[in-house]
């Protein structure tokens, strides 16, 4: 087995571990350890419903009918632009034949447009967070994190099981909050740098952003009152 193949095997195993960690590690602690204010899922984890093929994977097509199927998970910080994310992908022909498969790694948060906190998210936890088996009994791990919508733009590197790696821009869309008309549904879009086909037709896939520091949400931020930190002047009589 080549060194590249060994690396890909290790990273794919690590990717699976990240997904499992979301079920056993409290989300606020995970975000704090990564200095991130958002955690996100792309067609993975509790977003996937075995009885609903539209949940996972996330599928995006180009005008010629070829497609990419992707999933993944990660965290990012909107201030420092740091991102830690990975996942898997499969490139298919217009006829559904698999052309290549591998993993992707995010190395830069290009930008993030927040749509705000999902209205009534806590009351609708069952529908927002996935199928019934991950319902109220699993909700304590989400304490302190709020589902939110937005558009994250990531620069990623795709590492196929064979052939050279490529760099692309991945748009991750979660249609919660104040959703703009141009992005009405969850999905992904993929554009390769240096030319090539654009994959901009969202087909299926669920996406979720979890805001781990709700007070810093651009949609919910309010100006903080100014606090006078200077000690009050006290007249001293001799």
In tens, the pLDDT along 165-200 reads 999 999 999 999 999 988 899 999 999 988 777 999
Q: In this prediction, what percent of the chain has a pLDDT beyond 90?
A: 51
pLDDT exceeds cutoff 50 at 130: no
pTM more than 0.85: no
Least Cα distance to 38 among 28, 46, 47 occurs for 28
- pLDDT tens digits, 117-126: 887 654 444 4
More confident residue, 37 or 218: 37
More confident residue, 61 or 10: 61
Q: What is the pLDDT of residue 7?
A: 53
Q: What is the pLDDT of residue 24?
A: 37
Cis (ω within 30 of 0) for the bond into 57? yes
- pLDDT tens digits, 22-77: 443 444 444 444 456 999 999 998 899 877 778 899 999 999 999 999 999 999 99
pLDDT exceeds cutoff 60 at 152: yes
Tell me the pLDDT of the chain averaged across its residues.
76
Q: What is the pLDDT of residue 6?
A: 52
pLDDT exceeds cutoff 70 at 147: yes
pLDDT exceeds cutoff 80 at 225: no
pLDDT band at 3 (very low <50, low <70, confident <90, very high): low
Q: What is the pLDDT of residue 145?
A: 79
pLDDT exceeds cutoff 70 at 141: no
Triad 101, 170, 116: Cα angle to 5°: 135
Q: What is the pLDDT of residue 194?
A: 83
């Amino acid at each position: 087995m080549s060194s590249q193949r060994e690396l890909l095997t290790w990273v794919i195993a690590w990717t699976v571990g990240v997904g499992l960690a979301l079920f056993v590690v409290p989300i606020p602690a995970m975000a704090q350890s990564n200095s991130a204010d958002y955690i996100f899922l792309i067609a993975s984890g509790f977003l996937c419903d075995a009885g609903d093929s539209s949940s996972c994977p996330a599928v995006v097509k180009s005008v010629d009918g070829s497609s990419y199927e992707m999933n993944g998970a990660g965290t990012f910080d909107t201030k420092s632009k740091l991102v830690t994310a990975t996942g898997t992908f499969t490139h298919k022909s217009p006829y559904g034949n698999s052309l290549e498969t591998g993993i992707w790694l995010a190395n830069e948060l290009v930008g993030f447009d927040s749509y705000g906190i999902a209205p009534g998210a806590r009351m609708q936890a069952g529908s927002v967070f996935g199928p019934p088996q991950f319902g109220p009994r699993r909700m304590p791990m989400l304490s302190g994190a709020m589902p939110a919508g937005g558009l994250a733009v990531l620069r990623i590197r795709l590492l196929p099981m064979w052939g050279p790696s490529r760099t692309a821009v991945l748009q991750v869309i979660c249609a919660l909050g104040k959703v703009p008309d141009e992005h009405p549904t969850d999905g992904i879009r993929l554009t390769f740098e240096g030319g090539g086909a654009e994959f901009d037709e969202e087909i299926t896939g669920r996406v979720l952003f979890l805001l781990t520091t709700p007070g810093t949400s651009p949609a919910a931020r309010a100006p903080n009152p100014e606090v006078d930190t200077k000690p009050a002047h006290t007249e001293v009589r001799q």
